[in-house]
Amino acid sequence: MEAASSCLSQSSYSYEDYKETADWLLANTKQRPKVAIICGSGLGGLAELLGDRNVFQYKDIPRFPISTVQGHAGQLVFGKLQGRECVCMQGRFHFYEGYNIHTVTYPVRVFFLLGVETLIVTNAAGGLNGSYNVGDIMLIKDHINMPGFSGQNPLCGHNDDRFGVRFPCMSDAYDGELRALAKQTAKEQSCDSFLQEGVYCMLAGPTYETIAECKVLQTLGADAVGMSTVPEVVVARHCGLRVLGLSLITNKVVTDYDSTEKANHEEVLRTTRHRTEDLQNLVSHLISKI
């Protein structure tokens, strides 16, 4: 009962709220993107690759939330990538910023109303899989939604059939054809040597995981852990969008009590800077094939 009540107590948005934001954006840009990209910590450089850019600060967009995290620029960028019209979020929203689950996922339904058909989500993540190295890129094949276990699901509350069905399937959350295309593209771009495929687990944050928690997640079959992505994917699939997820492994989780290593955000940003160009090349060439 506690999970259900916490779910229902969260504030929600109406279809008209999402439409107001989408209509404002459509009125202020001629771009009509079919692909949306959500950039994780330090990965906002993807948006810099876009040509014919229209840039909107989150604070200027009606009803749009504002990103508060270092490494998240806080702007929506419309433009062309490899000749394809795209919209790119330079900065996403998180539970740990104090936002509820509906606010975290607000942009995804706006993208749906803009006419977006494919969502690419990127994030910085800790490596749980012992065979992963710092700097690896993991294709997400599945996820474990830890906040969802406690009732924090963005689809809780009233279901609006204009977005999707009441009980959407999540066994195919990450599109198999897009993953195959990403593998092919990685091989062409000589990125396949550090491309992995695995399961992403989301925790709410903002604390990094304890050693005991990491061991539990490894037992559950998680290969990488982070503090984002899953809520956006759930809403995207509810809306019928195809999803491709990419995790940049920025650190290896600590599983030894004698270790002196400590996870920190500065390390995450340093690693993303090191591997950003490879990830950008992979995504941009992939988009040309979608």
Most confident range, picked from 35-44, 195-204, 274-283: 195-204
> Among the options 67, 123, 153, 251, which is catalytic?
251
How many Cβ atoms from other residues are within 10 Å of residue 133's Cβ?
11
The yes-or-no answer on residue 67 being catalytic is no
> Among the options 20, 48, 97, 197, which is catalytic?
97
Q: Quote the pLDDT of residue 2.
A: 43
- Per-residue tokens: 38: 């959500």
Report phi then psi at 75, rounded to 5: -150, 150
Strand, coil or helix: 84: strand
> Among the options 41, 67, 123, 247, which is catalytic?
41
The yes-or-no answer on residue 227 being catalytic is yes
Give the list of residues 6+ apart from residue 23 with CB closer than 8 angstroms, or none: none
Q: Quote the pLDDT of residue 4.
A: 40
The yes-or-no answer on residue 102 being catalytic is no
pLDDT band at residue 9, thresholds of 50, 70 and 90? very low
> Among the options 67, 129, 145, 228, which is catalytic?
228
pLDDT band at residue 3, thresholds of 50, 70 and 90? very low
The yes-or-no answer on residue 124 being catalytic is yes
The yes-or-no answer on residue 158 being catalytic is no
> Among the options 47, 94, 202, 285, which is catalytic?
94
How much is the average pLDDT of 100-106?
A: 94
> Among the options 3, 265, 267, 281, which is catalytic?
265
Bridge-based pairing state of the strands 84-90 and 224-226: unpaired
Q: Residue 228's Cα: distance from chain center in Å?
A: 6
How much is the average pLDDT of 112-117?
A: 98
> Among the options 124, 125, 146, 236, which is catalytic?
124
How much is the average pLDDT of 126-138?
A: 94
**Domains in the chain, please, with CATH?**
2-287 (3.40.50.1580)
Q: Quote the pLDDT of residue 5.
A: 40
What pLDDT digit, counting tens, does each position of 252-286 carry? 888 778 666 766 667 666 766 777 888 888 998 89
The yes-or-no answer on residue 89 being catalytic is no
Query: In the predicted model, what is the mean pLDDT of the chain?
Result: 89
Report phi then psi at 128, rounded to 5: -95, -30
> Among the options 48, 96, 159, 170, which is catalytic?
96
The yes-or-no answer on residue 94 being catalytic is yes
> Among the options 22, 227, 238, 247, which is catalytic?
227
In DSSP notation, 34-68 reads SEEEEE-TT-GGGGGG-EEEEEEEGGGSTT-----
